[in-house]
Structure 1
């Protein structure tokens, strides 16, 4: 337990297979049964059990994982899931805390850290009024540095799940840094919160799509100096919000010429069917998914992402699909944001640089 007390658990060392790391999870305390539920087993109730050393209150489990992976998990002690008391690393997922273990080859994204003060954009709010009962809400708007003193018009990124993107996705820092490093052109970002049950609102809901098309986009175009055409407008989301983003872009390519969908997780069968029917005009699509999501609460999000990609490519859409050794969480999604926006806005960045 000496190493565990000094550096925390799990303990890591090179795995038996090339390109892997062996992680040893340890628990010490009185318990009948200790298990692990996490990215590595789809957060399943059929969790891995830690082995108990005979006659001792010490439990352990050794797992072999890709050397560049990052895993979130809970220990399940006598049926109650919670943080690993010997692991100081904690990741927040919405209102839930998970223990986290980055393997030695994992590299955290630098863009989540605050940018220099001179490179920081401004954040304000806009009230979106809808004719539909119960659909009005306040959105958060990011304006790039220099917006106030410029006459320029800007592309716009619309993102679902504003609360998570701001609190757990470090989205303002990410945008500041990507623009500062000229990975993407200066852009406006509109972060939309859900109202009521997000699983209902984001599940290919016609009311939500009408709200975005008829209320959100016109309000933003009226108030801000946008470039109001589909090639300068993107919509994105994570999990259920990714389903909503894809549905919006496929159904309304006249508004959204670009789409970012990370860990698309709901309404998979009807969404794949919609993708196979194809948008009326090609849209540029970025998809990503964690390899540990091949069994996310019993759903294979990896296969679903491949099927969505294949369907859209068949309709002439440029699609980039990225797989990473992570699971379903904000630290995965925010780490991919640079790659996603660079793919979506690459041509605009090149134009800005004069290439």
Structure 2
């Protein structure tokens, strides 16, 4: 019969759909949420697992077919992608903590070279050149890797026309998982998420929740610049006279558009997981300003404490209690938040740091270029008096120097009897994981877990 062999070739694909479901049920959260309350507790970290170039069992089966059966199998593969979505995930029978992940793209114009870019990768050895291979003379382009079975990252395709020289960047047309959903073209990223199913606090669940987002402009004499500040106000703000708990977040674009914090707050509040609170999203005045403002810049610290906060408290009913004041950020923002709270724990009693750049020296990136961590702020925690701050930290196992510095930091926090929690996730220096860990951090810091 014409298609017996092609059906056999597709058998691994179909069987692996059910295998993936079993895999997901076996993963508990896909995140290790570790509590460390005193120095007697033993801190356990996850194993760092690498990524390897590999060969898909299903693609290999298709390659062995004759031309007619191969075309039929590829057609079925495309149909499967339209229904189930890609990348194609297949179980590795030899290594239970790995899966085969195949990035697939169908292209009829064969003057194009196709590759995928991964958000947040600074070291190319993780994936190599990332160029997709064409399967003989077919329309199928693919690239397979053996990856950890709890990996999560954002990616897109790059289409390079070798004749016109034109370059087009698109999301994966056969992957329905986008961040953020419903965004304009070239604004979203596709996401490969192998973690177990978790509550989705990021997507808007309810209409007419009543919260609002103000935009104000604040000028700084200290920094000689002007920036936008976005202020989230809970639904009952205009109905009360009380002061509200607050969270200050650097890198407003990331937290508004990638992590989608307003949706998180609305959803958690609607489910009675948190009390109403104000959120302050602090913009970067230029594309490069974060590189010199956020990495422990004393002038930026003074701007936050002596210019930003007084103006905000003059306009909004924001708490004066350190125990109700969180400061947070991602990458340099996480470093800045920890640094400012360390200097002013009388104002900021809680810190949320995501992939914090604790390797960073305040004098520049030279040490990073030399792959030599300085751990400047960590060493200040060791040498100076105990601060009254509570911390939540997260980081990715694929983040090179970031995870090493953060692991050192939590060991020090543990030895010094700080109140803290941390999450290690399997991913890069991006927001596809941070958007999922943020609600856990917020619940912990607001004593609502």
Task: Output one character per residue of 1:97-120: Cα deviation in whole Å (capped at 9) or x when no partner.
Answer: 5432233x5436421222434644
Question: Which residue pairs with 1:23 in the alignment?
Answer: 101
Alignment of 1:10 onto 2:87: yes
Question: Which residue pairs with 1:153 in the alignment?
Answer: 243
TM-score, normalization: structure 1? Answer: 0.83
**Structure 2 counterpart SS, 1:248:** helix
Does the Cα contact within 8 Å between 1:231 and 1:257 map onto a contact in 2? yes
Instruction: Provide closer, same or farther for how the CA distance between residues 4 and 145 of structure 1 changes in structure 2, counting only shifts above 3 A.
Output: same
Question: Which residue pairs with 2:233 in the alignment?
Answer: 143
Task: Output one character per residue of 1:219-267: Cα deviation in whole Å (capped at 9) or x when no partner.
Answer: 2222222220221211001122112112111222121111111112375
For 1:166-185, list aligned pairs within 5 A: 166-185=256-275
**Once the 2 structures are TM-superposed, how far is the Cα of residue 150 of structure 1 from its aligned partner?**
1.5
Alignment of 1:284 onto 2:390: yes
Task: Output one character per residue of 1:297-338: Cα deviation in whole Å (capped at 9) or x when no partner.
Answer: xxx221121122223333332121101123332332221121
Query: CA–CA distance in 1 between the matches of 2:204 and 2:105?
Result: 36
Q: Alignment partner for residue 65 of structure 1, among 143, 147, 150?
A: 147
| Max Rg structure | 2
Does the Cα contact within 8 Å between 2:269 and 2:275 map onto a contact in 1? yes
**Structure 2 counterpart SS, 1:111:** coil
Query: CA–CA distance in 2 between the matches of 1:134 and 1:120?
Result: 36
Task: Output one character per residue of 1:164-194: Cα deviation in whole Å (capped at 9) or x when no partner.
Answer: 2212222111111122223222211111111
Does the Cα contact within 8 Å between 2:153 and 2:430 map onto a contact in 1? no
Alignment of 1:101 onto 2:175: no
Instruction: Provide closer, same or farther for how the CA distance between residues 230 and 115 of structure 1 changes in structure 2, counting only shifts above 3 A.
Output: same
Q: Alignment partner for residue 335 of structure 1, among 436, 444, 449?
A: 436
Higher mean displacement: 160-169 or 81-90: 81-90
Query: CA–CA distance in 2 between the matches of 1:55 and 1:222?
Result: 68
Instruction: Provide closer, same or farther for how the CA distance between residues 202 and 132 of structure 1 changes in structure 2, counting only shifts above 3 A.
Output: same
Higher mean displacement: 22-31 or 315-324: 22-31
Q: Which consecutive unaligned segments of at least 5 residues does structure 2 have?
A: 1-73, 363-373
Query: CA–CA distance in 2 between the matches of 1:215 and 1:136?
Result: 12
**Structure 2 counterpart SS, 1:112:** coil
Instruction: Provide closer, same or farther for how the CA distance between residues 61 and 311 of structure 1 changes in structure 2, counting only shifts above 3 A.
Output: same
Higher mean displacement: 213-222 or 59-68: 59-68
Question: Which residue pairs with 2:174 in the alignment?
Answer: 87
Instruction: Provide closer, same or farther for how the CA distance between residues 221 and 77 of structure 1 changes in structure 2, counting only shifts above 3 A.
Output: closer
Instruction: Provide closer, same or farther for how the CA distance between residues 153 and 47 of structure 1 changes in structure 2, counting only shifts above 3 A.
Output: same
Query: CA–CA distance in 1 between the matches of 2:210 and 2:443?
Result: 19
Query: CA–CA distance in 2 between the matches of 1:180 and 1:132?
Result: 40
TM-score, normalization: structure 2? Answer: 0.67
Q: Alignment partner for residue 305 of structure 1, among 378, 393, 406?
A: 406
Question: Which residue pairs with 2:17 in the alignment?
Answer: none
Instruction: Provide closer, same or farther for how the CA distance between residues 313 and 221 of structure 1 changes in structure 2, counting only shifts above 3 A.
Output: farther
Task: Output one character per residue of 1:3-49: Cα deviation in whole Å (capped at 9) or x when no partner.
Answer: 23434432122233224432222345536975554269656273345
Alignment of 1:324 onto 2:425: yes
Does the Cα contact within 8 Å between 2:358 and 2:375 map onto a contact in 1? no
Q: How many residues align?
A: 342
Does the Cα contact within 8 Å between 1:275 and 1:312 map onto a contact in 2? no
Alignment of 1:262 onto 2:354: yes
Query: CA–CA distance in 1 between the matches of 2:445 and 2:431?
Result: 20
